[in-house]
Structure 1
Amino acid sequence: MQIGKEYLRIIIERFENVKSLGDAAINQLSEEDIHWTQNRESNSVAVIVKHLNGNMISRWTDFLISDGEKDNRNRDEEFLDASFSKSDVMNMWEKGWQVLIETLLNLEEEDLLKSIYIRGEKHLVLEAIERQMAHYAYHVGQIVFIGKQVKGSSWESLSIPKGNSEEYLKVMLEKHQGRCQ
């Protein structure tokens, strides 16, 4: 087994899982919900998606050959709410993830130990990938949290519902029991 190829396979799967979690959360939200904020200091789902889009396009475009903070990116503008429709938000969401996944699919095992730069700071490719995974998972967690706040009791759980841990474990063990024998 080549560990670099296996790592790339796993990290692509992990990014896709994080995206799927965000997809499921955003799909539960209305046009109005995506612009909800707790207070003036909070970001709406629309703003978080706009920020993720800007970050992903900046970081993953020309990933191996140019600084991950592109000159044409206006990070501060990403945090200003605009009256985007849910359709616009979803288009930004999909575009950012598309750039990320296409870049990862084109990486080779030997690329993982190359150096790239983000805001002039040197990172191994492997390190930059992990940095972005943590960043995107953080923001998708915010999207899920906002969704739960906005939807309240109508929120459809995206993981094991409260009080169902034992039942879930039983189903998973039964599902995987055949594989272990």
Structure 2
Amino acid sequence: MEHSYLSSTLKQFEYYKSLGDKTMDQLSFKELQHEFVEDSNSIAIIVKHIVGNMLSRWTNFLIEDGEKAWRHRDSEFEDTFQTKEELKQYWNKGWACLFDAIRPLSHSNLEQIIYIRNQGHTVTEAINRQLAHYSYHIGQLVFLGKLLKGKDWMSLSIPKGKSSTYNQEKFSKEKGRRHFTDDL
């Protein structure tokens, strides 16, 4: 784990970012703002929440509490985006903050204690916490995207009925150590 945890984590975060990117690319701005029922979260609102969390957690990651005084979490659930481009810029800003915080880390940082709302976490625990949180919400994004596009949805994983073809292609390759995202 000493040499693979951080690189594997980065690849996982990159993978989940790509799922969000590919979902948003398939949708219009109006679709991104669509709420299925009153008081539910649209994709735009979920994006705003994810990014608000990212900016708070990853800014000065090793030296400041991850819940910043300047974060206004409740306002993350109000859609204020004016364009799809603005939404995507905000999305990319959050991911840049995350990647800028994780890329310089080394194995020696992993047991360091950082705080989120005064609760101590090792760096490893904090990374795992955020990876689980973002994958949870990005799964929501993808699901909402599928609902919005219906039969026009372009699958982001193995399409229904294509598992055998996918497995045949994978098993045709020589065994080797690689990350599942390397072929995406």
TM-score (normalizing by structure 1): 0.94
Q: Deviations over 1:43-85 (max 9, x none)?
A: 0111111111110010000001000000000000000122431
- Kept after mapping to 2: 8 A contact 1:46/1:84: no
- Kept after mapping to 2: 8 A contact 1:22/1:140: yes
Which whole-Å CA distance do the structure 2 matches of 1:84 and 1:64 have between them? Answer: 34
Which whole-Å CA distance do the structure 1 matches of 2:74 and 2:146 have between them? Answer: 27
Q: For residue 108 of structure 1, what is the amino acid of its counterpart?
A: S
Compute the displacement of 1:4 (Å). Answer: 2.8
Which whole-Å CA distance do the structure 2 matches of 1:159 and 1:173 have between them? Answer: 17
TM-score (normalizing by structure 2): 0.93
Q: Which residue is 1:71 aligned to? A: 69
Q: Which residue is 1:151 aligned to? A: 149
Let me know the Cα RMSD of the aligned residues: 1.3
Identity %: 46
Q: Which residue is 1:9 aligned to? A: 7
Correspondences of 1:1-181 after superposition (within 5 Å):
3-174=1-172, 176-177=173-174
Q: For residue 46 of structure 1, what is the amino acid of its counterpart?
A: A
What 5-or-longer segments of structure 1 have no aligned partner?
none
- Kept after mapping to 1: 8 A contact 2:22/2:156: yes
What 5-or-longer segments of structure 2 have no aligned partner?
178-184
- Kept after mapping to 2: 8 A contact 1:4/1:110: no
Counterpart secondary structure, 1:29 = coil
Counterpart secondary structure, 1:101 = helix
Which whole-Å CA distance do the structure 1 matches of 2:68 and 2:82 have between them? Answer: 24
- Kept after mapping to 2: 8 A contact 1:63/1:116: yes
Q: For residue 174 of structure 2, what is the amino acid of its counterpart?
A: Q
Which whole-Å CA distance do the structure 1 matches of 2:108 and 2:176 have between them? Answer: 33
